[in-house]
């Protein structure tokens, strides 16, 4: 799975994209409200782990992640 954090501008907030190994979009959500989007795509139990990853990665760089 891949994750990318996108920096917003002016009134547009920061967003996150989660993509599978084929780069197909799985989830697209605001960085300040990930719970609902992660529940919809079946990753609700991984919210804490994803938030920890988001705190560490820079904006604009795609990162390969392994969720446990």
DSSP alpha helix (H) spans, the chain:
35-40, 47-56
The answer to whether 4 and 63 are in contact (CB under 8 A) is yes
- So what's the pLDDT on residue 34? 87
pLDDT in tens, 18-56: 999 999 999 999 988 888 889 998 988 988 999 999 999
Q: The tokens of 60 are what?
A: 């604009």
63 pLDDT higher than 80: yes
Domain count, the chain: 1
Residue 35: CB partners within 8 Å, gap ≥ 6? 44, 47
- So what's the pLDDT on residue 32? 86
1 pLDDT higher than 80: yes
Residue 60 pLDDT level (bands cut at 50, 70, 90): very high
pTM: 0.83
**15 is in which domain, residue-wise?**
2-64
């Amino acid at each position: 799975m891949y994750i990318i954090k996108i920096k917003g501008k002016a009134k547009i907030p920061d967003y996150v994209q989660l993509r599978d190994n084929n780069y197909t979009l799985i989830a697209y959500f605001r960085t300040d409200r990930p719970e609902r989007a992660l529940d919809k795509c079946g990753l609700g139990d991984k919210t804490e782990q994803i938030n920890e990853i988001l705190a560490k990665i820079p904006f604009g760089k795609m990162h390969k992640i392994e969720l446990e």
